[in-house]
Structure 1
Amino acid sequence: MTQQNRFEGQSAVITGGAAGIGHAVAHRIIAEGGRVAIWDRDHAAIAAARATLGDAAIGFTVDVTDEASVEQAASTTHATFGSIDILVASAGITGPNTTTWTYETDAWRQVIEINLIGMFITNKAVVKRMLEANTGRIVNIASIAGKEGNPNASAYSASKAGVIGLTKSLGKELAKTGITVNCVTPAAVRTAIFDQMTQEHIDFMLSKIPMGRFGTVEEMASLICFLASRECSFSTGGVFDISGGRATY
């Protein structure tokens, strides 16, 4: 259920916002009065997403692993909107499903580059702009895999554990400012990212969820938008579970 005008006058950056969880968050922020900049590496997907989001959305083709690309997008977004009040860092890939000892090193490195180093670069660029106003909300998308580790997904699990650590560190660094930094740890959500996984791995993830179903992007957006709102004022460096009962801590 949307909340009227919760994000009125606020501007959000959403990485990976052209599809999946990021796109659902963009829809909700706009529905609640905000403006959104979608940062995604897929130009065609950005155009398609903007067509569904309307005039409150702008888009930039961004490679989150390229610091110059991220800095340019941050600068242009800030100039266009006048501020960046919210960052939802959702860009990520799963990588192949294979054992650690058969994992190709270049493929392992690519997952870390996008999911963790890209997250660091994006957080870094946006925080510098938020500090100018001494206010902001950052929500990083981690995963239950970062808490528990999934077999045949060592790079993904390690990258998401890194996102949790990054979130905790940055949250503490900014604790005496008006900027909060939190992350969410979803269990599996059926989006296009499933196309990167084997059916065996998808079945394994479902078997681990006590509720017996996958989450929806709308359910993810509900929690993320709370963390991105001004209502969330006394949580920072936090890890918020949304795993259908899978999480054990």
Structure 2
Amino acid sequence: MSNLKNKTIFLTGASSGIGKATALSLLDLGANVFDFSRQRQLADELTHENLRSFRGDVSVEADVQNGFSACLEAFGTVDILLNNAGIGSVSPDLSTIDLDTFEEMVNVNMRGVFLCNREALKVMKPKGEGHIVTVISMAGQRTNPNAPLYCASKFGARGLSSGLADQAIKMGIRVTDINPGPTDSDYWGDRQVPREKFLKVDDVARVIVFVLDQPKEVLIREINFDSMKFLA
């Protein structure tokens, strides 16, 4: 039996891509999934007794607080926070980037992680257990001249998560970073990139579920992976 059966996962960005693939796998394993997304909702296309959806923006404090309240009302607790929501864009010439673009990327990719982590800790600390998992990216470990803003936001998220891990372990709470390489998803839009060589969203979902399904005595601090086709 999966360790995830009857566990409640607060999942940001489950409406498409990696988040959607992960949510479907978690539901198959008997988990309760609370989808927090600012765009279309997974519950709009899927009816499942263990799924709830809430429309909100991870970068808005009140939205995050209301989302956690709704999750607690629906399922009674939060066992796992899965920070998956993120945005990105290219910025090959930093001199042309406006402040709004910078702030939006930092707000979603860093501020959003902070806000969700803070609310999750309020639930997990009294229990003395829980798991906070953040899908960051290999862009949080290696720079890209075409996307310095994206890399900066991911480096920041990794620093936040790593620092939290050192605090949380004393509370009985596990913290894990998941760093996939380029993944074939809607993230790329119409950009001309070799998506056929990238990881597939189901590949990433399998890794995420593997991490989440570990018994509470097992801590995976960080997991990095790439597509062999992309690296070749």
Aligned with residue 29 of structure 1, among 26, 29, 51: 26
Deviation of 1:56 (Å): 1.2
Question: In the alignment, what sits opposite 1:209?
Answer: none
Aligned with residue 66 of structure 1, among 52, 60, 64: 60
Range with bigger deviation, 212-221 or 33-42:
212-221
For the aligned residue pairs, the C-alpha RMSD in angstroms reads 1.9
The answer to whether the Cα contact below 8 Å between 1:27 and 1:53 also exists between their aligned partners in 2 is: no
TM-score (norm. length: structure 2): 0.91
Distance of 2:207 and 2:197 partners within structure 1: 18
Question: In the alignment, what sits opposite 2:9?
Answer: 12
3-state DSSP of counterpart to 2:46: helix
The answer to whether the Cα contact below 8 Å between 2:7 and 2:32 also exists between their aligned partners in 1 is: yes
Counterparts in 2 of 1:80-119, with a 5 A limit?
80-119=74-113
Distance of 1:233 and 1:146 partners within structure 2: 27
Distance of 2:34 and 2:64 partners within structure 1: 12
Gaps of 5+ in 1: 207-211
Task: State yes or no: 1:226 paired with 2:223.
Answer: no
3-state DSSP of counterpart to 1:227: helix
Aligned with residue 214 of structure 1, among 198, 208, 214: 198
The answer to whether the Cα contact below 8 Å between 1:164 and 1:239 also exists between their aligned partners in 2 is: no
Aligned with residue 166 of structure 2, among 172, 177, 181: 172
3-state DSSP of counterpart to 1:92: coil
Counterparts in 2 of 1:131-146, with a 5 A limit?
131-146=125-140
- Quote the sequence identity (%): 27
- Gap change, CA 1:35 and 1:184, over 3 Å in 2: same
Question: In the alignment, what sits opposite 2:123?
Answer: 129
Distance of 2:18 and 2:174 partners within structure 1: 20
Distance of 1:165 and 1:34 partners within structure 2: 29
3-state DSSP of counterpart to 1:175: helix
Runs of 4+ in 1 over 4 A off after TM superposition: none
- Gap change, CA 1:125 and 1:163, over 3 Å in 2: same
Paired residues in the alignment total: 230
Distance of 1:130 and 1:232 partners within structure 2: 13
- Gap change, CA 1:150 and 1:62, over 3 Å in 2: same
Question: In the alignment, what sits opposite 2:226?
Answer: 243
Deviation of 1:151 (Å): 1.6
Deviation of 1:105 (Å): 2.1
Deviation of 1:50 (Å): 4.7
- Gap change, CA 1:113 and 1:137, over 3 Å in 2: same
The answer to whether the Cα contact below 8 Å between 1:41 and 1:62 also exists between their aligned partners in 2 is: yes
AA aligned to 1:87 is L
TM-score (norm. length: structure 1): 0.86
The answer to whether the Cα contact below 8 Å between 1:50 and 1:57 also exists between their aligned partners in 2 is: no
Distance of 2:147 and 2:102 partners within structure 1: 10
3-state DSSP of counterpart to 2:184: coil
The answer to whether the Cα contact below 8 Å between 1:36 and 1:58 also exists between their aligned partners in 2 is: yes
Gaps of 5+ in 2: none
Distance of 1:156 and 1:232 partners within structure 2: 32
AA aligned to 1:218 is D
